Amino acid sequence: MGAASTQPQGVKFYELGLDERREWLGQQAGLSADELAALGGAAGLDPEQADHMIENVVGTFNLPLGIAQHFIINDRPVLVPMAIEEPSVVAGASFMARLAQSGGGFHAHVSAGEMIGQMQILDVDDLPSARLKLLEQRQALLEEAAQIDPVLQRLGGGPRDLQVRLIEDSPAGPFLVLHLIYDVRDAMGANAVNTAVERLAPRVEAICGGRVLFRILSNLADRRLARARCTVRLEALAFGEFSAESVRDGILAGWAFAAADPYRAATHNKGIMNGVDAVVIATGNDWRAVEAGAHAYAARSGRYTSLSTWGQDAAGNLVGTLEMPLAVGIVGGATRSHPTARAALQLMDIHTAAGLAEVIVSVGLAQNLAALRALATEGIQRGHMTLHARQVAIAAGAQGSEIERLAGQLVSEKTVRIDRAEEILRQWKHS
């Protein structure tokens, strides 16, 4: 059963204690005790399981797991698990998801789940004729590739197309590149694709007379795109001394900076990936693959630029879009073997890779908006300071309700330092 609401009635989620948050989450999402324990840190990946995942294991490594609130994605409320060490990210995503509710939440969809497997073909006599020989055998090669993974084939996946590219100029001279387009359904797909290109290589060599050297998936998954859009009603943008128009126009000017300048685009896209990676990690997916695909896609025109766009509609409301490759799965690897990843999928009531990608791309767009709104107004340090002040308060020895009170005082005094925090605590004890 999935989450019916994204926030507790009459009380803010972040104001609840750790145990109260867990209890609400368990009830809300209908999680089992084991799932709740996996999300709550009491259980999760143990060293014995980890020992079967990688080499030379000595233990496991933990990250904070937060729940982003207020997300409505394709008209469905979703509680989003985010694994990340950076303060402000979960709060920023939640707050922007709330602003986006003013315009109906996020609308997200994905293209087909097609990955690309590459073969580098060297030592062919005549590249153009070798290319045509391979294309002439396209159907036969696809039929052979379809035999490789009967399970995937039964699930409706498998080879979809074959392309042959000619690289005219490289440090190793000219060569051919064959692309096997492979629908991987609900898997991330690296294993299926790598197996397929390795198995097909001898047949390719026999057809074109060349030597297949590299056989590996491409992380530029530009046939597996996820897209999200949202509208934030103009009036929802106003806060403090900032008018709605000034916030919107500041966001648009800040986005233009990223659209035009790679130095800014790198940071802008990093902000998007703060949200994207946090969900990718929480669900046991390969965030290096997602990062590689995102940045390569951002540079596809030959100039690195923003992955998102921001503009305004006829009524002056803020409208945003994000389009990026998202090679994520819900079967295979850590998505199944990591208990917390399984519980994270259960929490979101996600049963397809496409559904997961729709959530992730929406969170990326929300995260981008959080950064743009802060940068266009009060700067990002203020929000960071509040969270930093909480950590300083805890380090100084504050407990329970003292933490918020002390953090608030440190921020209002603009002195977020441990010595001052300890001094205030001492004063409170003696008053």
For ligand MEV, the binding residues (CB under 6 A) are 86, 267-268, 270-271, 274, 371, 375, 380
Q: Is position 384 annotated as part of the catalytic site?
A: yes
**Of 26 and 92, which CB lies nearer to ligand MEV in the complex structure?**
92
Contact criterion met (CB below 8 Å) for 179 and 204: no
* Burial of residue 282, with CB atoms counted within 10 A of its CB: 0-12 exposed, 13-18 middle, 19 or more buried: buried
Residues 6+ apart with CB under 8 A from 392: 407, 410, 416, 417, 418, 421
**Of 265 and 410, which CB lies nearer to ligand MEV in the complex structure?**
265
Measuring CA to CA, how many Å separate 268 from each of 49, 109, 343?
A: 37, 22, 31
**Of 346 and 367, which CB lies nearer to ligand MEV in the complex structure?**
367
CB of 368 to ligand MEV, least distance (A): 7
| Catalytic member of 133, 270, 402, 404 | 270
CB of 361 to ligand MEV, least distance (A): 17
| Catalytic member of 205, 384, 388, 404 | 384
CB of 288 to ligand MEV, least distance (A): 18
Contact criterion met (CB below 8 Å) for 31 and 42: no
Contact criterion met (CB below 8 Å) for 14 and 91: yes
Q: Is position 270 annotated as part of the catalytic site?
A: yes
**Of 78 and 369, which CB lies nearer to ligand MEV in the complex structure?**
369
CB of 215 to ligand MEV, least distance (A): 37
Q: Is position 286 annotated as part of the catalytic site?
A: yes
Residue of minimal CB distance from ligand MEV?
A: 271
CB of 274 to ligand MEV, least distance (A): 5
| Catalytic member of 34, 86, 143, 245 | 86
Torsion of CA 79, 84, 89, 91, to 10 degrees: 50
The pairing of strands 76-83 and 65-73 is: antiparallel
| Catalytic member of 186, 277, 286, 358 | 286
Alpha-carbon 17 to chain mean position:
27
In 10 A of CB 314, how many CB atoms?
5
CB of 79 to ligand MEV, least distance (A): 23
**Of 109 and 384, which CB lies nearer to ligand MEV in the complex structure?**
384
**Of 383 and 408, which CB lies nearer to ligand MEV in the complex structure?**
383
Rounded CA-CA distance 42/143 in Å is 49
Rounded CA-CA distance 410/391 in Å is 11
Residues marked active site are found at 86, 270, 286, 384
